[in-house]
Structure 1
Amino acid sequence: MGDYTGRIEIGRPPAEVFAFLADLRNMPRYLPTVTRVGPQGHHDQHDDVAVEGEADGHQYRNDGWVKAEPEARRMRWGSHTMQDYGGSLSVTEATGGSAVELKLSLTPKPEVAERMQREHGNVDHGMRLAVERTLGSIKTACEKGPAGQEGDGSSADDLHDSRPFGSSATLNPDI
């Protein structure tokens, strides 16, 4: 299993950024492979969720869990079917707004690992790039102005570029 981390600063207050990310209905705005996220019940420790979407031309659905810790501005998640998959996200104060730190633990499926090896030279490099693109996508979604204008000049292509990570971040069984 690989562990991957990344950090990005966002020009919005930490409470606003965390509220946006903790609202699972916003997930399709920064993970384009996701088409739908829905609650599946509540346990003492976490909320069960179902995630649906499309990645690499394949529809997927996976059941997992998300634990939001608003007082710490932290979220943790995992899969009920993929024991080697999990992650966390934390939002802290930073100069000019917030910092988001993303941690992901997973072992890509063999076909995904082969593709990353082919496209990026090795799996770790491909995963690091995917984490960076996903953080860029989160930044774009959080800083987007009310009229659909970009808040910082980020490219809308950032949303498209997060697809490789988006499928794994959303419990896609294909990774």
Structure 2
Amino acid sequence: MTDYTAEKQIDHDVTAAFAYLADPANLPQYFPHMTSAKLVEPELVQTTAVVDTDGDGVEEKVSGRAWFHADRDAHEISWGSPGSDEYSGSLKVTEAGGSSLLKLRIHTTEDHPGVQESLDEALESIARRLAAQSAR
């Protein structure tokens, strides 16, 4: 089992940040390689991504479904593969002295090159998106 984690402090309100993150339609805006995400049933999202699934250096388009739960009281979203414990993740927003702290975690059964960089990239993307929203 492998766990990847990343954190980033952002200058944004916890509630507003969570509202953005809790909308599955926004997932492709901040998760690298994801090209679409659509809620197809309550707490079930259909996703499409372009990734190198077999490690040959060539990215392929893949689609799948994931459960997606937004806990508004805890300001945390979580997701994973339906019927499997091989892949799951969470993104929590907490108050951090007038700003927000984002904590992103991915759990998988295998080590995947580039996952840590993708987590860092996702948090940077969230920070940019939320800063752009604040500037409006």
Pairwise same-fold verdict (TM > 0.5): yes
> Please, what is the CA RMSD of the aligned residues?
2.2
For residue 80 of structure 2, give the secondary structure of its aligned residue in structure 1: strand
Q: Percent identity?
A: 31
For 1:1-150, what aligned pairs fall within 5 Å after superposition?
Answer: 1-42=1-42, 47-56=43-52, 57-80=59-82, 83-108=85-110, 113=112, 116=113, 126-145=114-133
Distance of aligned partners of 1:138 and 1:128 in 2 relative to their CA distance in 1, 3 Å threshold = same
Distance of aligned partners of 1:81 and 1:61 in 2 relative to their CA distance in 1, 3 Å threshold = farther
Q: Aligned residues, how many?
A: 130
- In the alignment, the residues of structure 1 paired with residue 4 and residue 32 of structure 2 have an alpha-carbon distance, to the nearest angstrom, of 20
Q: Give the deviation of 1:81 after TM superposition.
A: 6.4
Q: Which runs of 5+ in 2 are unaligned?
A: 53-58
Q: Give the deviation of 1:58 after TM superposition.
A: 0.9
Q: Under a length normalisation based on structure 2, what TM-score does the superposition of the two structures give?
A: 0.82
Contact 1:63 1:81 in 2 (8 A): no
For residue 144 of structure 1, give the secondary structure of its aligned residue in structure 2: helix
Query: C-alpha offsets along residues 39-90 of structure 1, whole Å, 9 cap, x if unaligned?
Result: 2212xxxx11110122243111011101101111111110126531001111
Moved over 6 A (4+): none
Contact 1:64 1:81 in 2 (8 A): no
- In the alignment, the residues of structure 1 paired with residue 2 and residue 86 of structure 2 have an alpha-carbon distance, to the nearest angstrom, of 9
Q: Give the deviation of 1:141 after TM superposition.
A: 1.8
What letter is aligned with 2:132? K
The structure with the greater share of residues assigned to strand is 2
Q: Give the deviation of 1:147 after TM superposition.
A: 7.2
The structure with the greater share of residues assigned to helix is 1
Distance of aligned partners of 1:34 and 1:19 in 2 relative to their CA distance in 1, 3 Å threshold = same
Q: Give the deviation of 1:145 after TM superposition.
A: 4.7
Query: C-alpha offsets along residues 7-50 of structure 1, whole Å, 9 cap, x if unaligned?
Result: 111111000100000011111211242222112212xxxx1111
Q: Which runs of 5+ in 1 are unaligned?
A: 117-125, 149-175
Distance of aligned partners of 1:147 and 1:97 in 2 relative to their CA distance in 1, 3 Å threshold = closer
What letter is aligned with 1:7? E
For residue 71 of structure 1, give the secondary structure of its aligned residue in structure 2: coil
**Over alpha carbons, which structure has the higher Rg?**
1
